[in-house]
């Protein structure tokens, strides 16, 4: 009986040992899975390496050059914009300075006396004007009469001086003191004599203003009274006598500065 139990115990122990061996054999790692995972890892590493090898360093350089070129273009555009803005600013400043100079010039000009603002009519053209309209120019003014021979002689010398000063800022005006004649009659006088500049008939109001400034000689045609209005509106003293063309030119140049 004891031997039989020992024999069964040995068999039971052997069965346990065999079961343990089988269990240990089933715990072996799955080499197929491990190999597959390793292969995939290797392939990924190779792909990364190939991608790195395929990347052309020249591409990076070209991209950098492109970025630099775009940056240079942007800088050039900014400079051009700044230059355009600078030119516009300079133009605005110059225009502002010119306007200021004009305003200062107007401020420095003397106030116009009443007789320079009295309306007159150019008998040759029918155009209305005042002596103040010639501001900025030198104006030679002579009072005359159609019946005055001395006046005609001085006007002849004025015609010569006028032709020699062509193109200069000089204006010649003849004012008839004959308040009783018509514009047409004075216009006929200019056609007969060939005097082709501004002629007008002075109104009684204008003659009164001129006499108050220059004296009564201004209304005495045979004395050949004349004076010059300067570009700033001021005027010379009254002169008389038949002046030569050269003397008239000198008088105008001196008054005109």
Residues 187, 124 contacting (CB under 8 angstroms): yes
What helix, strand, coil percent values describe the chain, rounded to 5? 65, 10, 25
What pLDDT does 167 receive?
A: 81
Whether 203 and 209 have beta carbons less than 8 Å apart is answered as: no
pLDDT at 233: 93
Q: What is the pLDDT of residue 236?
A: 95
User: Which whole-number Å values give the CA distances from 40 to 52, 53, 171, in the listed order?
Assistant: 18, 20, 107
Instruction: Write down the pLDDT at residue 15.
Output: 63
Instruction: Label residues 92-125 b or e (16+ Cβ within 10 Å = b).
Output: eeeeeeeeeeeeeeeeeeeeebebbebebbbbbe
Residues 6+ apart with CB under 8 A from 150: 221, 222, 223, 224, 242
Q: Indicate the fold that domain 114-256 takes in CATH.
A: Glutaredoxin (3.40.30)
pLDDT at residue number 39? 44
Sequence-separated contacts (24+) of 205-210 with Cβ below 8 Å: 205/118, 206/115, 206/118, 206/120, 206/175, 207/177, 207/179, 209/113, 209/114, 209/115, 209/118, 210/115, 210/143
What is the structure's pLDDT at 252? 94
Report CA torsion sign: 110, 114, 119, 122: negative
Neighbouring-strand partners of residue 199: 174
Q: What is the pLDDT of residue 210?
A: 97
Interhelix angle 245-256/149-164, nearest 10 degrees: 60
pLDDT of 35 reads 42
The tens-digit pLDDT sequence of the chain (257 residues) is 555 566 566 666 676 666 655 555 544 444 444 444 444 544 455 455 444 444 455 555 555 555 555 556 656 666 666 666 666 666 777 676 766 666 555 545 557 899 999 999 999 999 999 999 999 999 999 999 999 999 999 999 999 999 999 888 899 999 999 999 999 999 999 999 999 999 999 999 999 999 999 999 999 999 999 999 999 999 999 999 999 999 999 999 998 86
- Write down the pLDDT at residue 69: 53
What pLDDT is stored for residue 2 in this prediction?
59
């Amino acid at each position: 009986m004891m031997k039989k139990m020992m024999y069964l115990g040995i068999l039971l122990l052997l069965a346990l040992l065999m079961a343990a061996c089988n269990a240990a054999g089933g715990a072996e790692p799955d080499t197929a899975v491990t190999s597959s995972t390793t292969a995939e890892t290797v392939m990924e590493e190779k792909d990364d390496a190939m991608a790195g090898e395929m990347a052309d360093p020249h591409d990076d350089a070209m991209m950098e050059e492109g970025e630099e070129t775009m940056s240079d273009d942007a800088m050039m555009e900014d400079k051009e914009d700044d230059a355009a803005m600078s030119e516009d600013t300079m133009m605005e400043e110059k225009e502002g300075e010119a306007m200021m100079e004009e305003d200062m010039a107007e401020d420095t000009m003397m106030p116009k006396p009443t007789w320079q603002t009295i309306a007159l009519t150019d008998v040759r053209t029918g155009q209305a004007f005042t002596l103040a309209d010639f501001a900025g120019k030198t104006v030679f003014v002579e009072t005359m009469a159609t019946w005055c021979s001395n006046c005609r002689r001085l006007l002849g010398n004025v015609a010569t001086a006028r032709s020699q000063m062509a193109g200069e800022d000089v204006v010649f005006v003849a004012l008839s003191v004959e308040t009783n004649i018509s514009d047409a009659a004075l216009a006929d006088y200019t056609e007969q004599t060939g005097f082709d500049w501004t002629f007008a008939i002075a109104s009684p109001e204008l003659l009164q203003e001129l006499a108050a400034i220059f004296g009564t000689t201004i209304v005495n045609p045979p004395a050949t009274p004349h004076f010059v209005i300067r570009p700033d509106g001021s005027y010379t003293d009254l002169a008389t006598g038949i002046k030569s063309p050269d003397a008239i030119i000198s008088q105008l140049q001196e008054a005109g500065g």
